[in-house]
Structure formats: C-alpha cells, structure tokens
Amino acid sequence: MFVLVIGLFSIGYAVTDVPEPNVEAEGQTSTVYWDDGETPLGTFKIEDRRSVPIDEISPAMQQAAIAAEDQSFYENRGISIKGLSRAVWGVVTDNYAGGGSTITQQYVKNFYLTNERSMDRKVREMFIAIKIDQELTKDEILANYLNTIFLGRQSYGIEVAAQNYYGKPASELDVAESALLAAMIQRPGAADPAENPEEYEDRFRYVLENMAELGYITEDEAVSTELPELSEAKKDNQFRGQNGYLLDNVRKELVNAGITPEMLDRGGLQIHTTYNQEDVEAAIEAVEDLPELKEGMHVGLMSIDPKTGGIKAMYGGEDYLERQQNQATEDITQAGSTFKPFTLVAGFENGFRLTDHFAGNSGTTMMYDGTPWRPKNYGGANYGSVSLLRATESSINTAYAQLNIEVGPEKTKDVAIRAGLGEDTSGLEANAANVLGTASPTVGRMTTAYATFAANGIHRAPHSVAKVENPDGEVVHEADTEGERVFDENVMAETSYALSRVVTSGSGSYAQNLGRPAAGKTGTSQDNYSAWFAGYTPNLATSVAIYREDESGNPMEIGSYGGRGSITGGSFPVQAWTQYMSDALEGEDIEKFPKRGELPDVEKPQNDSGVPNQAPPARPNPNPDRPRGNDDEQPRQERPREEEDEAPIEEQPEEPREEEPAPEPPPEEPAPSRLPAPEPDRPNPPPDPEQPPAPNPPPPPAPEENDLTG
C-alpha cells in the first residue's frame, strides 16, 4: 500500500506543472510622485503592495521570518519530511488536517494558488514547492515570500508593512521590529499591535527564542528585546482635499494615453508628475485668502510651465471627497474678455497694427452678415476713436467687435483652437460676438492657450505626468515637451507687448505687484456669471476664474461679493493670480518678453463692419515745428479717468466717466520690472478693512468690462 501511495505521488509530481501566478499576488501598488521624483503624492492600488529585492530587506527581517515559519528553510527541498509524512498519511486515511507548511509552500500558496483548505490543494502545493525549490535560489524564494505575505493595515508585502507600522523601509528594520512583524504572519488580522500588543506578546517571544537558537542573536538579546514602538494606523484618505483632484487628473491622463486601469492598480508603476508641491500649496492659499465664497460660487486655478507644457499646480475644489467635479479641468464658464487676445492675434496675422483705430463709443452700429449689431461697453462708456493698443488696455468692447468683423470671426475661432482652447469648447462659434467671450472653456484650456502665448507661439499639450516607469525601471510613457509652432514669433512678441500694457496701464494693473514683466487679460461675463484673469510671465502661465452655479449647474449671477457691488476680472481674480504667481515664482530668474519685431506684411481685409475707418482723434500739436507721429507714438501725459478701475479691495461700484481720450503711449515703452509709484494726482483708494493692503499698491486699474452686454 505504501509503495502504491509513493507511486501515486511520483505520478502526481510528474504531471503537476507550475501554474501562472494568481492576479492578486502578482499585483503591486503604483506610486505617484511630486515633481521632485522622491516625495509620494499618492498611490493607485487594489491592495497596497510593493515588491523589493532581497538586498532591500534587512538581515534581521529575513532571519525573523525563518525563525518564525521555517527553521529548516536553508536545508529543506521545499517541503519538510514531517509535512510529507502527514500528507501521505492523510491520503491513506482520507483525513488530512493540513499545517506544517514551509516558507516555500506558503509562497506557492500565496503566489500561485488560493487559500482553499483541501487535501487536493495541499498536495498540489507540495508538488509545486518542490519544483520551485529547484528553479529558484533560496534568496529568491525568501524575497518572493516576504513580498507576498499580508501583515494587516492593508499591507501586502514586507516593504509596505515596514512603512505602515514603522515609517521606514524594510531595509532598516531592526531585530525587535522584525520579530513583531514575523509574529504577525500567522494571524495578521487578529488585532493591530499598536492597540492590542498583548495579542502578539507570546508569538513575539517565540520568534526571538528561535532566532537565538539559530544563532542569529544572543540569548541575552532574546530576553532583553522589548516590543517596538509603532506608528499610528493611517486613517486619512489620500484623496481628501486637493490631492484627489491631482490624482484623478493623473489617472485620467494615463488611461487616455493607453495605460490600462489594471496596470495602474497592479503594475507597480513609478509615476512622476509635473506637480510642484509648494506651488499647489500656494494655489490653495491664494484661493483660501479670497473673501468667503457665497453659496454656489467656485474658483478654478491652473498653472502651466510654458516651456514644457507641464501642469505645475491646480486648484480643483475645496475637497475632492465632497465634490469630484474638477473646477480647473471639468467645470466650464464663459470666458468674457479673456477671449479678446485671440482676435488680437488674428488681427496681427492679417495686417492690423496697434496703431490702427477703431470705434470706441458704446452702442456703435455695426453690420455683420447684413444684420445690424450694437455692442456696448461697460457702463455705456464712450471713448471716441481709439487705437487697438488702447482698446486692449481698457478692454473696449466696441473696438474689438469692429476688429473681429473686419478680420473675420472664423479667424478668431481658428486662433483660439491653435492656441489650445479645443474645437469642442462649449459655445465656440464663428460669429461676431465670439470676441466678447461667448464660449465657455475650462480654466485648464484657457491656461493652455495663454501658455502658448508665453512660449512665444509654441503650443505644448498640457500634461500632469512627466514619465512612467515599470518595476524594472523601464520608461513606458513619457510626455512630449517639444511642442509645435502655431504662431509667428513676431506676432507673439507683439501680443505679449499689448497684453503687458493691460498690466502696466489697464484693467489688470493689480498684477504689477508681481514685480516682474507680466502680461494678461481680465474678463467678466454677461450678467456677472464669472470673472477671470488669465496671464503669464515668460516662465509660467496661470488662469483664475471665479464663477457661480445653481444647484443644477446652470450659470448664476455672482452679485455683490467681498464688499464690492460686483466682481470683475480686475478685482479678486487678478488679486488671487498675483498672490499665487508671487509665491510660485519666488527665487526664479526674472525674464523679459521677446523684443518686438516686424509683423507679417499682408494686406488688410476689406472693412465690412459698416463702421467708417477710424482716424486718430485730433489734438493740439504742442510743437508745430515737429511733425506729429502716429497716435500711440506720443508719450502719455496722463491717463483719462474713464480708464480707471477700482483696485480689488475698493468697495464702490465701477463707473467709467466719459472724457476725450488721452495720447497713447509709445510702443517701445517696456513693461516695468518693478511697481511704479502712485501718481500724485491719482491717489490710491482707501483699503478695505477686511483685506490686507497690497505691498506697494499699483495705480487703480482701468474699468473692467461687462463683456457680453449689447
């Protein structure tokens, strides 16, 4: 009978193949890092598991595992004689009870089989263990075993357990720490040792005694070693607060790039993001420093490195666990006058110049497709004939409406798409009103477009992942940072100059507090649904939008906010933008915008706007012997009052006053590298007692526009 059983075992061994690893055991946690490549931001996992080689597991931990589970590990052939005898006897008596598994057998069960308690599974386990012992070295088997065991606190594998219980890698575990983890192998879910250490006291002593018996430690060490101190179990959800928006954006980006969710959750990937931890904290602080938001109000912020396309920071919402809709990448809101630069670029590409003049009076009748249209300026302000530079500084709707009709709204739309706004942007149409911001992009897409301006015409796809490595260190995904030139360099230099005048002389003048060359555009939508500031320096592009929605997600009037009659792009959005940019660029080199060059020499399109070509307004020549140049080639003596706008902390509502326009500044005037002193005849408004005064406050900005009126 015994010979027959042995024969059956021999046949069973011969016909038993080593199976493929089970999915659960093979899966490893993928780790997401901040842009330093070292600090973890979060993980993707089904269970928390990270495998390490044997040389990254301390000798004490290796010895403790052997002492606890298989003292003959280095001598046996994958199974123990006692275990084999019990298995044979179980076959004979049909009464197998299990137990007595070697480390190799436990590894086989964890990695290849299941936890099913049956004689059939145990016999297969033994056959496979013998074969594994012949195929792998003892060090490989021990490492694989320690990488597959479960040790509580959602810890799969010794590396995760070392971090979760002691806050250190497995390579640094000492004797006491190792002995306690080894004591938990048989009953990992019995209790958390930090809360109930007595559950493991006896087993802990058993492991130490065996370590002494095997010569790993002395008898004195076995007696004197006490239970180690443990870190508290982590109870914070990694998706809480801003982290959830960052991690969710990473996951969606990689899935779109072709990496499967299963690979993200089980592939042990090392995911290196472009997120800068300090910049993200600066974004959070800039938003939290705004006055308390009214019900339904939201803030979105995104910041992109224009030289790479990498997303440095975003503000997606107060808490991902409370609202999963990302306010930077998924919410949409009307762009307002942040859209005007697309028409400006289209104008430069089609023969227009900053010295060209347009109709600046509110309600000017224009013709588009045979239909009269009377766009209005904010507050019904009249400016007379204004240069394109002046219209940009003061965000004059009528002038830009005329330019858009003359250039062609389809060209404005094309510029927006080339810059990065996206063809599927909600409301993006080729009609006369598109210049006033009827489209509703995400904050992220608007930031991408302005990053293209900052990159002097090179569009780079925005991305939050720089590269992804598999467990072997092989790069399996890498972002394309080369980009594509979509605009002429001189057109971009002229655009940056014009938008820098919005900061130095126009509606975004609060941004002068940044103390370095900056360009940007304010925007306020129809019915005060949203307010924007989108801007950039040569090394960072950022957009901030404040908007309001009802319970159904429909646009809703913001109304009075923060002690002001109404919110505009030149108020709190530019204030948050400036605060964030000041922190994010601290210590960075101050870069200047490219010098202006020759624009494309093309013939302007025919004026089909129904508005006569505008000439510069007549004014006395103070020096009859000196020929008069173009309107914006004369030095500005004093800015007219209708260009003034309240600073972000002013309480009175904005009311432009009609006066004759003043001379335009010279095109060559550079953006100041530091904040100018207030002009003596234009005192700064008193500060709002609820808002801290800005450092060295700028002159009041020009009146913000209500873009979609008319």
Which residues neighbour 288 within 8 Å (Cβ) at sequence distance 6 or greater?
none
- Residue 109 in this model has a pLDDT that exceeds 90: no
DSSP for residue 451: H
Residues paired with residue 440 on neighbouring β-strands, in sequence order:
426
- Residue 87 in this model has a pLDDT that exceeds 80: no
* Residues with a known catalytic role: 69, 337
DSSP string computed for 322-363: T--S-TTTT-----GGGGHHHHHHHHHHTT--TT-EEEEETT
pLDDT at 195: 83
- Tokens encoding 14: 């011969």
Contact criterion met (CB below 8 Å) for 323 and 396: no
- Tokens encoding 79: 């199974």
- Residue 83 in this model has a pLDDT that exceeds 80: no
Measured between alpha carbons, how far is 412 from 270 in angstroms, rounded to an integer?
A: 42
Q: Measured between alpha carbons, how far is residue 313 from residues 281, 462, 543, 650 in Å? A: 8, 12, 11, 29
* Pairwise pLDDT comparison (234 vs 525), residue with the higher score: 525
Chain-centroid distance, C-alpha 443:
12
Contact criterion met (CB below 8 Å) for 84 and 304: no
Write down the H helix ranges in 100-197: 103-111, 119-135, 138-148, 158-166, 175-183
Residues 247-269, mean pLDDT to the nearest whole number: 93
Order of strands across the sheet that contains 519-524: 311-315, 297-304, 540-548, 530-537, 519-524
Q: Which of 70-74, 182-186, 238-242, 695-699 has the lowest mean pLDDT?
A: 695-699
pLDDT at 26: 64
Domain edges within the chain: 2-37+48-224, 312-458+481-643
Start-to-end Cα distance in the chain:
101
Residues 56-78, mean pLDDT to the nearest whole number: 95
Pair type for strands 270-273 and 30-33:
parallel
- Burial of residue 296 (CB within 10 Å: 0-12, 13-18, 19+) is middle
Whole-prediction pTM value? Answer: 0.73
Give the CATH H-level superfamily of domain 2-37+48-224: Biosynthetic peptidoglycan transglycosylase-like (1.10.3810.10)
Residues 343-359, mean pLDDT to the nearest whole number: 98
pLDDT at 59: 98
- Residue 371 in this model has a pLDDT that exceeds 50: yes
194-204 tens-digit pLDDT: 888 888 999 99
Q: Which long-range contacts (CB under 8 A, 24 or more apart) does 134-140 make?
A: 134/78, 135/18, 138/73, 138/74, 139/54, 140/54
Same-fold call for 2-37+48-224 versus 312-458+481-643: no
Measured between alpha carbons, how far is 59 from 216 in angstroms, rounded to an integer?
A: 9
Residues 253-281, mean pLDDT to the nearest whole number: 95
Residues 293-304, mean pLDDT to the nearest whole number: 97
* Pairwise pLDDT comparison (302 vs 13), residue with the higher score: 302
Q: Measured between alpha carbons, how far is residue 247 from residues 39, 45, 602 in Å? A: 14, 12, 47
DSSP string computed for 183-236: HTSS-TTS--TTT-THHHHHHHHHHHHHHHHTTSS-HHHHHH--PPP-PPPP-S
Under the banding of pLDDT at 50, 70 and 90, the label for residue 125 is confident
pLDDT at 624: 47
Mapped onto helix, strand or coil, the DSSP state of residue 41 is strand
- Residue 541 in this model has a pLDDT that exceeds 70: yes
Measured between alpha carbons, how far is 480 from 310 in angstroms, rounded to an integer?
A: 10
pLDDT at 12: 52
pLDDT at 565: 82
Residues 406-415, mean pLDDT to the nearest whole number: 98
Pair type for strands 530-537 and 382-387:
unpaired
- Residue 707 in this model has a pLDDT that exceeds 50: no
Measured between alpha carbons, how far is 397 from 378 in angstroms, rounded to an integer?
A: 8
Q: How many residues does the chain have?
A: 710
Residues paired with residue 478 on neighbouring β-strands, in sequence order:
467
Q: Measured between alpha carbons, how far is residue 229 from residues 155, 226, 272, 567 in Å? A: 18, 9, 33, 54
DSSP for residue 56: G
- Residue 123 in this model has a pLDDT that exceeds 90: no
Measured between alpha carbons, how far is 382 from 364 in angstroms, rounded to an integer?
A: 10
The label of the residue with tokens 């913001």 reads 558
User: The domain 312-458+481-643 is classified under which CATH number: 3.40.710.10, 2.60.40.420, 3.40.50.1820, 3.40.1350.10?
Assistant: 3.40.710.10
pLDDT at 537: 99
Contact criterion met (CB below 8 Å) for 350 and 604: yes
Mapped onto helix, strand or coil, the DSSP state of residue 364 is coil
Q: Measured between alpha carbons, how far is residue 286 from residues 315, 323, 515, 572 in Å? A: 10, 20, 17, 10
- Total H helices, total E strands in the chain: 21, 18
pLDDT at 27: 73
pLDDT at 437: 97
- Tokens encoding 373: 């249209």
Report the range out of 89-93, 132-136, 506-510 with the highest average pLDDT: 506-510
Round the CA-based radius of gyration of the chain to a whole number and report it: 35
Contact criterion met (CB below 8 Å) for 179 and 165: no
- Tokens encoding 591: 């870069």
The C-alpha angle 234, 236, 241, rounded to 5 degrees, equals 155
Under the banding of pLDDT at 50, 70 and 90, the label for residue 118 is low
H or E stretch covering 31: strand 30-33
Which residues neighbour 552 within 8 Å (Cβ) at sequence distance 6 or greater?
none
Measured between alpha carbons, how far is 410 from 434 in angstroms, rounded to an integer?
A: 9
DSSP for residue 505: H
- Residue 325 in this model has a pLDDT that exceeds 80: yes
DSSP string computed for 593-644: PPPP-PPP--PPPP--SSSPPB-PPP---S-TTS----GGGSPP----GGG-
- Residue 490 in this model has a pLDDT that exceeds 50: yes
Phi, psi (rounded to 5 degrees) for 48: -80, 110
pLDDT at 153: 86
Contact criterion met (CB below 8 Å) for 5 and 91: yes
Residues 118-135, mean pLDDT to the nearest whole number: 78
pLDDT at 516: 98
- Burial of residue 406 (CB within 10 Å: 0-12, 13-18, 19+) is buried
Q: Which of 280-284, 343-347, 462-466, 600-604 has the lowest mean pLDDT?
A: 600-604
pLDDT at 669: 28
Mapped onto helix, strand or coil, the DSSP state of residue 73 is coil
Measured between alpha carbons, how far is 179 from 175 in angstroms, rounded to an integer?
A: 6
* Pairwise pLDDT comparison (690 vs 384), residue with the higher score: 384
631-665 tens-digit pLDDT: 343 333 333 323 333 333 333 333 333 333 333 33
What average pLDDT does the chain have?
84
Contact criterion met (CB below 8 Å) for 197 and 228: no
Share of the chain above pLDDT 70, in %: 79
- Residue 132 in this model has a pLDDT that exceeds 70: yes
- Residue 340 in this model has a pLDDT that exceeds 70: yes
pLDDT at 124: 75
585-605 tens-digit pLDDT: 999 999 999 999 999 999 999
Under the banding of pLDDT at 50, 70 and 90, the label for residue 506 is very high
